[in-house]
């Protein structure tokens, strides 16, 4: 045997006979790695399959399969036994990435400038379990008719329309778009055709697309202050400059906004139930805001995250419904009225923007899962949705009353908590100076999730308080969590 | 009655008693619109609820509910009957958006510069039915065990883990990430931990995020030429400049790439089965490409869209598996091995990039649907996935043989079609000069979807041919479609 041949046969291939990985695969992988590592070098001849088989006590066919694979991938030239040699896999030694070399420090930043902006934007929703009492915006998961949903799901999967298994339309499943157009018209006073409805995976997918379509990096965006931190995050992630706009009892102060940033062309508002204050954007402000958008050809993103939960009067009509000039991009979600994990939400886009949204979608995730959309359509068309909504309205009304009663007993001396005619959360304001982030951290330790009011503020003037969801926890959990919250407040002192 | 009072009572409210919309809602909406339109103006007094009820022959409570709503939203001051007046909803007449005004021409472009780039990038996947014989990349939808999937789905929905209904981790459902890490290790030679696996809605969601994280607008990106048009689209959508890199029998010509654009830091390749040529990136080119990435701290996006479908030898190992320096971002999808409508795909990210991917996800759609991910996990863990994959491998092998046999009979004089040891499509090259886009259009008219080879080219030198999927259509459909394709070719002449 030549010296070269020795090199290969003497190499310590470790073939494990009891492994689930076939022997030929083990052989292929180990020899490939020897070549990649440079331990077998170009030009070395490969011994005959018989010799290798005998050295390792395996069948010849095992060897043949392994070497055919190596040949097909170009690690060796020709077939085994046929004057085969290790191929010239590397242009030059210096270019070879070698195993075991210490990884050199990166000279370039890992991410691009745009990527750094994206990855480092603060305010993203936390990636933690929200199955904890008082987590704001969490619906009553246990009250969701999951078994019924499963039945509807099974029915669709049993006899699926082929179009629901294939690639679908990027705007979403047409019957769902129609059902939603009817629903937002009836319950939210939106005026739209199904053509304007686009199904997305969560409302922030739509908001992020809208921002990218309608703004350039460094453009200003008018944001409610206090306002939802997740929106600040998404705005920052696409490179926008946040302009805080004070919120009062009538909501977003349009005059202040225009004064603070006359060149702004984008505004994000939660007019039906301001996050977190609960203010309803007054009719006069609505008119002003629409007039502003029309005048400067700006855009209003209306986030109607929990507008259907109204415990007094009718749900307030959406801003979209009174917009005559197609300047409102209305987004809403099924995360709050059903469950978040469905990842189904929708945008009602001005007709002129529909194509742009669909294009943006096509370049990334194309569309939302087909059967899930069909199941939601069935759920709506068969009346389950309306029934669930009614049940949740009355459940949440009860739970709010209980929350307030328990809060007054346990923490009424510390916090003022006013009832809310709408939504899924309440704001408690401290009667004295307290660091709300410390209270929230202490509460989290005790298994209660409240969001410090101060974290909703973008500007310097912050109020201290707690934003508490009352919709998820049942009576017992609410009582227990309230005791824990009282303890957390006492701890911080 | 005063003149003002007359204004309201005499206005023609049209209340429809048979409408599903309650009377109070009709009344509210119509009066609100009168105020928004300026037909009722600020300061006008509102008549008593009794007077309105009598004028319209409705109950007083109907009127009270309608006006409470108007008051709550700020359209009127005070409650009905209480010296109530229409509120000052508009700052000034000139600001009022009025109904019926002709919509003015927009002076600003509809979209931002970034939005225009995004919306107008060509090459997006078409939003048309792909349930047509020969559509490239469409799996055998009918062979998918949909009823079984429905059963698994029902089981999960019946007793759902609460965490699967709530917001989930942005990287995906942990057990699925683990199952995938095992699967890509075993079948694709990838080397990764579950921590590096991120679940996405389709592989292009991951690719689009990667591009935004790792590049700035106007940066170059090395793209295979010919290559997948959808990738050109996504690259253009995020503002990148495509640098075409020729593909030969060994795949992506790395030397040419470096020469053409020494400053490039991003490359997109389909090494296991080049789209569309089917070339396998040779071992030597793999080493060169990895060395390039390591040297310049560049990134390689490895799109392994159909690498598991290998009909001769073992599936080729992924580039990721031999990358020692964490420069490869590996993406793959379940759209091809299962069905596209699931919208489930994954990225194996270098450890350093995992957080950035997760952040990007959190600012938009947060995560993929919970239960769908759990069902896929069950499907994999219970062995259904491996079984389906084996069945599809042998089905597709049969279908390819049939396709080639039928093609040789029907269009063998026009096209050279070589068999492929891998993948889901074949490339037919015309024996003479034929406009492949015309043939494809004619075929589409006859119910057959083939993609012109010329559309895969980015540079000026284009080859004419047809890219045909052979996996979707059964024997009968294949025979019929082949006749139609022959007819289309004859038509174009």
- What is the rounded distance in angstroms from the CA atom of residue A344 to the CA atom of residue A337? 11
Is residue B24 over pLDDT 90? Answer: no
Chain A residues 415-474 with CB within 8 Å of chain B: 421
- What is the rounded distance in angstroms from the CA atom of residue B249 to the CA atom of residue B96? 67
Q: What is the CA radius of gyration of chain A?
A: 31
Q: Are A169 and A197 in contact (CB under 8 A)?
A: no
Residue A249 main-chain phi, psi, to 5 deg: -60, -25
And the tokens for A76?
Answer: 């060796």
* pTM as predicted: 0.86
What is the predicted ipTM?
Answer: 0.85
A162 with B125: Cβ contact below 8 A: no
- Give the pLDDT confidence score for residue B254 in this predicted structure: 97
Q: What DSSP line would sit under B159-193, residue for residue? A: S--GGGTS---TT--HHHHHHHHHHHHHHH-----
Is residue B95 over pLDDT 60? Answer: no
- Give the pLDDT confidence score for residue A101 in this predicted structure: 41
- Give the pLDDT confidence score for residue A96 in this predicted structure: 41
Instruction: Look at B150 and B461; give whichever has higher pLDDT.
Output: B150
Q: Are B316 and A72 in contact (CB under 8 A)?
A: yes
- What is the rounded distance in angstroms from the CA atom of residue A216 to the CA atom of residue A240? 8
Q: CB-based contact (8 Å) between A161 and chain B?
A: no
B58-70 pLDDT tens trace: 888 888 888 887 8
Instruction: Look at A4 and A28; give whichever has higher pLDDT.
Output: A28
Residues of B in contact with A73 (CB under 8 A): 280, 282-283, 316-317
Rounded mean pLDDT, A136-154: 97
Chain B residues 340-369 with CB within 8 Å of chain A: 340-344, 352-353, 355-356, 358-360, 362-369
- Give the pLDDT confidence score for residue B53 in this predicted structure: 86
Mean pLDDT of the residues in chain A: 89
Residues of B in contact with A153 (CB under 8 A): 150, 153-154, 157
A343 with B368: Cβ contact below 8 A: yes
Least confident span in A181-185, B105-109, B199-203, B368-372: B105-109
Rounded mean pLDDT, A438-459: 95
Torsion of CA B386, B392, B397, B401, to 10 degrees: 170
Is residue A123 over pLDDT 60? Answer: yes
Residues of A in contact with B362 (CB under 8 A): 124-125, 127, 233
Closest approach of A331 to chain B, Cα-based (Å): 13
Chain A residues 100-139 with CB within 8 Å of chain B: 101, 103, 106-108, 110-115, 118-121, 124-125, 127, 129-131, 138
Count CB neighbours of B94 within 10 A: 8
Residues whose CB is less than 8 angstroms from the CB of residue B362 and which lie 6 or more positions away in sequence, other chains included: A124, A125, A127, A233, B170
B157 with A165: Cβ contact below 8 A: no
A103 with B74: Cβ contact below 8 A: no
Is residue B318 over pLDDT 70? Answer: yes
Is residue B91 over pLDDT 50? Answer: no
B325 with A97: Cβ contact below 8 A: yes
B230-245 pLDDT tens trace: 999 999 999 999 999 9
**Of A202, A222, A201, nearest to A211 (Cα)?**
A222
Q: CB-based contact (8 Å) between A272 and chain B?
A: no
- Give the pLDDT confidence score for residue B90 in this predicted structure: 53
- What band does B376 get if pLDDT is binned at 50, 70 and 90? very high
- Give the pLDDT confidence score for residue A93 in this predicted structure: 37
Hey, of B90, B362, B370, B472, which one would you mutate to test binding to chain A, going by the most A CBs within 10 A of its CB? Answer: B362
Is residue A233 over pLDDT 80? Answer: yes
Q: pLDDT exceeding 90 applies to what percent of chain B?
A: 71
Q: Are A423 and A468 in contact (CB under 8 A)?
A: no
Q: Are B223 and B197 in contact (CB under 8 A)?
A: no
N residues, chain A: 493
**Of A326, A333, A329, A336, nearest to A368 (Cα)?**
A333
- Give the pLDDT confidence score for residue B464 in this predicted structure: 94
- Give the pLDDT confidence score for residue B82 in this predicted structure: 58
CA distances from B244 to A112, B225, B295, B310, B418 (A): 22, 5, 21, 27, 25
Max intra-chain CA distance, chain A: 95
Identify the DSSP state of B337.
T
Mean pLDDT of the residues in chain B: 89
Interface A-B: count of C-beta contacts within 8 A: 400
- What is the rounded distance in angstroms from the CA atom of residue A470 to the CA atom of residue A485? 13
- Give the pLDDT confidence score for residue A94 in this predicted structure: 37
Residues whose CB is less than 8 angstroms from the CB of residue B273 and which lie 6 or more positions away in sequence, other chains included: B280, B305, B306, B307, B309, B316, B420, B422, B423
Rounded mean pLDDT, B38-52: 78
Rounded mean pLDDT, A82-111: 56
CA distances from B249 to B274, B277, B281 (A): 10, 8, 8
Q: What DSSP line would sit under A349-362, residue for residue? A: --GGGHHHHHHHHH
- What is the rounded distance in angstroms from the CA atom of residue B433 to the CA atom of residue B166? 58
- Give the pLDDT confidence score for residue B102 in this predicted structure: 41
Closest approach of A413 to chain B, Cα-based (Å): 30
Rounded mean pLDDT, A352-374: 96
Closest approach of B122 to chain A, Cα-based (Å): 9
Q: pLDDT exceeding 70 applies to what percent of chain A?
A: 92
Rounded mean pLDDT, B33-54: 79
B243-300 pLDDT tens trace: 999 999 999 999 999 999 999 999 999 999 999 999 999 999 999 999 999 999 999 9
- What is the rounded distance in angstroms from the CA atom of residue B125 to the CA atom of residue B230? 6
Q: What DSSP line would sit under A60-101, residue for residue? A: HHHHHHHHHHHHHTTSEES-TTSS-EE----S-GGG---TTP
Hey, of A323, A366, A367, A370, which one would you mutate to test binding to chain B, going by the most B CBs within 10 A of its CB? Answer: A366
Residue B223 main-chain phi, psi, to 5 deg: -125, 140
- Give the pLDDT confidence score for residue B459 in this predicted structure: 81
- What band does B29 get if pLDDT is binned at 50, 70 and 90? confident
Closest approach of B321 to chain A, Cα-based (Å): 10
- What is the rounded distance in angstroms from the CA atom of residue A249 to the CA atom of residue A252? 9
- What band does A166 get if pLDDT is binned at 50, 70 and 90? very high
Residues whose CB is less than 8 angstroms from the CB of residue B192 and which lie 6 or more positions away in sequence, other chains included: B181, B184, B185, B320, B330, B348
- Give the pLDDT confidence score for residue B107 in this predicted structure: 58
Residues of B in contact with A335 (CB under 8 A): 167
A110-121 pLDDT tens trace: 999 999 999 999
Q: CB-based contact (8 Å) between B288 and chain A?
A: yes
Q: In what order do the strands lie in the sheet with A345-348?
A: A197-200, A345-348, A328-333, A299-303, A266-269, A220-225, A241-248, A251-252
- Give the pLDDT confidence score for residue B292 in this predicted structure: 96
- What is the rounded distance in angstroms from the CA atom of residue A156 to the CA atom of residue B14? 42
Name the residue facing A201 among B36, B68, B365 (closest C-beta): B365
CA B245 to chain centre: 26
């Amino acid at each position: 045997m030549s010296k070269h041949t020795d090199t290969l046969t003497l190499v310590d291939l470790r073939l494990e006979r009891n492994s689930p990985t076939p022997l030929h695969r083990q052989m292929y992988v180990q020899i490939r790695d020897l070549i990649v590592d440079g331990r077998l070098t170009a030009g070395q001849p490969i011994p005959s399959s018989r010799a290798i088989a005998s050295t390792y006590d395996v069948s010849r066919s095992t060897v043949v399969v392994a070497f055919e694979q190596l040949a097909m991938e170009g690690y060796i030239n020709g077939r085994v036994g046929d004057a085969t040699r290790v191929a010239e896999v590397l242009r030059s030694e210096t270019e070879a990435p070698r195993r075991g070399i210490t990884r050199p420090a990166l000279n370039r930043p890992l991410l691009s400038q745009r990527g750094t902006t994206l990855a480092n934007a603060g305010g993203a929703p936390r990636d933690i379990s929200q199955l904890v009492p008082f987590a704001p915006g969490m619906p009553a998961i246990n009250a969701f008719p999951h078994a019924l949903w499963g039945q509807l799901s099974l029915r669709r999967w049993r006899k699926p329309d082929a179009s629901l298994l294939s690639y679908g339309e990027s705007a979403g499943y047409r019957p769902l778009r129609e059902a939603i157009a009817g629903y937002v018209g009836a319950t939210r006073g939106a005026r739209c055709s199904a053509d304007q409805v686009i199904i997305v995976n969560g409302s922030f997918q739509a908001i992020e697309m809208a921002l990218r379509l309608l703004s350039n990096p460094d453009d200003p965006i008018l944001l409610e202050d206090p306002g939802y931190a997740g929106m600040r995050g998404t705005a920052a992630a696409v490179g926008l400059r946040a302009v805080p706009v004070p919120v009062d009892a009538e909501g977003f102060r349009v005059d202040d906004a225009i004064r603070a940033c006359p060149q702004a062309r984008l505004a994000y508002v939660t007019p039906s139930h301001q996050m977190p204050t609960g203010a309803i954007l007054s009719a006069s402000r609505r008119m002003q805001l629409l007039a502003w958008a029309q005048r400067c050809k700006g855009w209003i993103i209306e986030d109607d995250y929990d507008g259907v939960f109204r415990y007094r009067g009718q749900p307030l009509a959406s801003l979209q419904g009174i917009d005559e000039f197609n300047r409102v991009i209305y987004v809403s979600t099924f995360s709050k009225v059903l469950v978040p994990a469905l990842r189904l939400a929708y945008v009602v886009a001005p007709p002129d923007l529909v194509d742009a949204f669909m294009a943006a979608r096509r370049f990334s995730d194309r569309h939302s899962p087909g059967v899930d959309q069909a199941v939601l359509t069935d759920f709506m068309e068969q009346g389950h949705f309306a029934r669930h909504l009614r049940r949740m309205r009355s459940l949440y009304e009860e739970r709010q009353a209980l929350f307030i009663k328990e809060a007054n007993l346990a923490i009424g001396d510390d916090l003022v908590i006013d009832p809310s005619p709408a939504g899924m959360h309440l704001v408690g304001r401290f009667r004295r100076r307290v660091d709300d982030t410390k209270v929230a951290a202490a509460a989290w330790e005790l298994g209660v999730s409240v969001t410090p009011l101060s974290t909703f503020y973008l500007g310097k003037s912050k109020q201290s308080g707690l934003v508490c969801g009352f919709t998820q926890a049942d009576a017992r959990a609410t009582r227990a969590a309230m005791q824990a919250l009282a303890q957390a407040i006492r701890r911080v002192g």
